[in-house]
């Protein structure tokens, strides 16, 4: 029966996949994985050691791209040809109790050949499986000892260690190829990076385009065989400046998509990078925050997105968390999960949070976090309600159950990481919507009203949060005039501060970002949040002495 299914799978590869993806590499890679899986599951054994009940192989075929321009010149070109990476997961025991004690989505890394050679792939998988099997036997013994010493809670110890799933055979072929036109992007980067030559107060400026196009092959002893793309492209402009009082400010602008042709066109990029350079120059010359403040703060745009991301898209938020059962990892993790608050209020009653897996556009805007099958071979539901009118309903999870989250939601997503195959919990798109939201201009009026009631002469609007480059405006309560400020220490806004918001915007925005720096994720969110009792103080950033000579570009501009 297994052989019949595998033959049918190869037939799918040969006849269903479009011709541009119908290459011999797929057949070689999957056959090598399948043959080595069967051999190891049948024959791998050691005296007094349990045989594996589950083995999975992952192989990534990766192409990396990076180019950088500085002040109109190309300074870096690093377009790497295809290389392969691999990982091996060997589990002893059974679904109820496995040898995995870390629950990290990270397995034994194994070296892969530079090209799809059947014998070399099997050799690499054989070596990796041997090491993974021996490590798993030690990890299982340590896990059983840890359970006796109750490193995990009794409730967690009663959980199943791995959710059993139905095997899936799926080949995902991207609709569009990942193409970097090197000559065109050289010209683009020269043009974009030269914009900074007009701003002599900015230094260490650059414009970089970098990305990765990876095809991940997954094959398991359960019968799952999946090939899917993991890709991203990012254009980033960054620059630094130094204030007259010796504080260095560094900031960046970025645009993220799946493939290069989805990035903004050159006209829009010129506008965005010019706006970025002008904003950083204005920030350099802004008045520093010098007095302590505690009162209402209106968080808009990127600042609102950052607060919601920090509180919801973590293991302290809506991601299920299973406490590691080995002593070292358990001590290192300082996670305070909220899984005990299921069916309790965790955020303002007007807010509902939904997760979408394959939603690829919203109000005409593309969403680049969309996916149709996760990194563990689970097909996720298209829509999940995680928070309903402020009440915590559900968490996102992979195949390792957590408290109040014992079934997988198919939310394991691959890292776009070139050195090993990793995955973590993440949504495709998180949609945070608000009932009875207000117009953005009404929120500013509400901000001033609250500040007056508190006896304050001014309030603050924060439009981005950054260690050195937060964009913050002081608002005069008499006339509403906004004054750009800098060097502010803004207190952290925690989930508890979002339980009762003074106001929420009815307007929604879309942001694309790399969760954990490597997982492309989309978020739809209210464009502004009005939060009471936020502390803002002067910064404690160490001041730096000025360079002996001024930036050479400034001399050139002066002439």
Judge if 81 and 223 occupy the same domain: yes
Confidence grade of residue 147 (pLDDT, cut at 50, 70, 90): confident
- State whether 190 and 323 are in the same domain: no
Asked whether residue 294 is domain-assigned, the answer is: yes
pLDDT attached to residue 6: 46
**CB neighbourhood size of 212 (10 A):** 22
Total structural domains in the chain? 2
Residue 351 has pLDDT above 90, yes or no: yes
The torsion angles phi and psi of 421, rounded to 5 degrees, stand at -95, 115
State which of 318-332, 334-348, 353-367 shows the largest mean pLDDT. Answer: 353-367
pLDDT at 10: 43
150 or 281: which leads in pLDDT: 281
Indicate if the pLDDT at residue 481 is higher than 70: yes
**What pLDDT sits at residue 48?**
87
Quick one: pLDDT at residue 163?
96
- pLDDT above 70 for 130: yes
pLDDT tens by residue, 389-434 = 999 999 999 999 988 899 999 999 999 999 999 999 999 999 999 9
Residues 308 and 170 in one domain: no
Mean pLDDT over residues 170-174, rounded? Answer: 93
Q: What pLDDT, in 10s, does the model give residues 237-290?
A: 999 999 988 889 999 999 999 999 999 999 999 999 999 999 999 999 999 999
269 in a structural domain: no
Three-state DSSP state, 14: helix
Q: Is residue 255 part of a domain?
A: no
Query: Do 231 and 311 fall within a single domain?
Result: no
Looking at the predicted structure, is the pLDDT value of residue 464 above 70?
Answer: yes
* Cβ-based burial of 360 (10 A; exposed 0-12, middle 13-18, buried ≥19): middle
- Assess whether 231 and 294 both reside in one domain: no
pLDDT number for residue 19: 44
Average model confidence (pLDDT) across the chain: 91
Q: Do 213 and 344 belong together in one domain?
A: no
Would residue 259 count as lying in a domain? no
Domain for residue 552, yes or no? no
Residues 112, 210 within the same domain: yes
Grade residue 24 by pLDDT with cuts at 50, 70 and 90.
Answer: confident
| Shared-domain flag, residues 341 and 425 | yes
Instruction: Kindly indicate the confidence band of residue 156, based on its pLDDT and cuts at 50, 70 and 90.
Output: confident
Can you tell me the mean pLDDT for 317-330?
Answer: 81
Domain residues for 396?
Answer: 288-542
Q: Quick one: tokens of 414?
A: 């691959």
**Dihedral Cα 199, 200, 202, 205, nearest 10 deg:** 80
For residues 190 and 92, membership in a common domain is answered with: yes
Overall average pLDDT of the 65-74 stretch:
97
CATH number at 32 reads 3.30.2290
- Does pLDDT of 490 surpass 80? yes
In the structure, what pLDDT confidence band is assigned to residue 330 with cuts at 50, 70 and 90? low
Q: What is the pLDDT of residue 558?
A: 52
- Domain-ending residue, one of 236, 259, 274: 236
Percent of residues, the chain, with pLDDT higher than 70: 92
559 in any annotated domain: no
- Residue among 258, 286, 285, 322 at smallest CA distance from 473: 286
464 vs 462: CA distance, rounded Å? 6
Residue 393 in contact with residue 354, Cβ under 8 Å? no
* Mean pLDDT across 58-83: 95
């Amino acid at each position: 029966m297994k052989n019949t299914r595998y033959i049918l799978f190869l037939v799918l590869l040969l006849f269903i996949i479009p011709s541009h993806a119908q290459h011999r590499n797929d057949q070689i890679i999957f056959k090598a994985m399948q043959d080595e899986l069967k051999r190891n599951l049948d024959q791998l054994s050691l005296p007094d050691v349990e045989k594996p009940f589950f083995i999975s192989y992952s192989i990534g075929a990766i192409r990396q791209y990076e180019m950088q321009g500085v002040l109109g010149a190309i300074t870096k070109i690093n377009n790497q040809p295809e290389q392969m990476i691999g990982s091996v997961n060997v589990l002893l025991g059974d679904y109820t109790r496995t040898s995995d004690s870390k629950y990290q989505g990270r397995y034994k890394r194994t070296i892969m050949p530079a090209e799809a050679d059947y014998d070399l792939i099997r050799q690499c998988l054989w070596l990796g499986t041997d090491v993974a099997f021996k490590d798993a036997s030690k990890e299982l013994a340590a896990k059983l000892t840890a359970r006796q010493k109750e490193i995990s809670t009794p409730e967690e110890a009663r959980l199943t260690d791995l959710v059993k799933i139905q095997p899936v055979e799926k080949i995902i072929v991207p609709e569009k190829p990942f193409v970097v036109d090197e000559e065109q992007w050289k010209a683009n980067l020269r043009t974009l990076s030269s914009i900074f030559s007009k701003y002599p107060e900015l230094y260490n400026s650059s414009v970089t385009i970098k990305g990765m196009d990876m095809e991940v092959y997954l094959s398991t002893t359960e019968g799952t065989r999946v090939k899917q793309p993991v890709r991203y492209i990012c254009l980033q402009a960054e620059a630094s400046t130094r204030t007259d009082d010796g504080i260095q400010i560094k900031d960046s602008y970025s645009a993220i998509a799946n493939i290069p042709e989805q990035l903004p066109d050159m006209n829009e990029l010129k506008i965005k990078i010019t706006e970025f350079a002008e904003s950083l120059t204005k920030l350099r010359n802004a008045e520093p925050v010098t007095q302590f403040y505690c009162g209402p703060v209106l968080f808009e745009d990127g600042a609102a997105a950052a607060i919601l991301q920090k509180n919801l898209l973590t293991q302290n938020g809506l991601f299920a968390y299973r406490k590691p059962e080995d002593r070292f990892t358990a001590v290192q993790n300082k996670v305070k999960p909220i899984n005990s608050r299921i069916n309790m209020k965790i955020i303002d009653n007007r807010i509902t949070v939904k997760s979408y897996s394959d939603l690829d556009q919203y109000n005409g805007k593309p969403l680049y976090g969309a996916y149709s099958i996760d990194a563990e071979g689970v097909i996720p539901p298209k829509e999940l309600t995680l928070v309903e009118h402020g009440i915590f309903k559900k968490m996102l999870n992979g195949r390792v159950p957590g408290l109040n989250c014992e079934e997988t939601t198919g939310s394991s997503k691959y890292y776009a990481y070139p050195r090993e195959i990793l995955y973590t919990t993440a949504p495709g798109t998180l949609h945070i919507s608000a009932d009875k939201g207000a117009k953005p201009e009404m929120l500013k009026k509400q901000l001033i009203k609250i500040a007056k009631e508190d006896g304050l002469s001014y309030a603050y609007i924060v439009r981005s949060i950054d260690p050195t480059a937060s964009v913050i405006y002081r608002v005069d309560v008499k006339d509403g005039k906004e004054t750009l400020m800098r060097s502010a220490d803004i207190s952290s806004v925690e989930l508890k501060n979002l339980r009762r918001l003074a106001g929420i915007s009815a307007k929604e925005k879309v942001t694309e970002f790399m969760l954990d720096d490597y997982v492309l994720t989309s978020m739809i969110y209210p464009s502004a949040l009005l939060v009471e009792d936020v502390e803002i103080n002067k910064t404690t950033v160490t001041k730096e002495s000025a360079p002996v000579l001024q930036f050479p570009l400034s001399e050139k501009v002066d002439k």
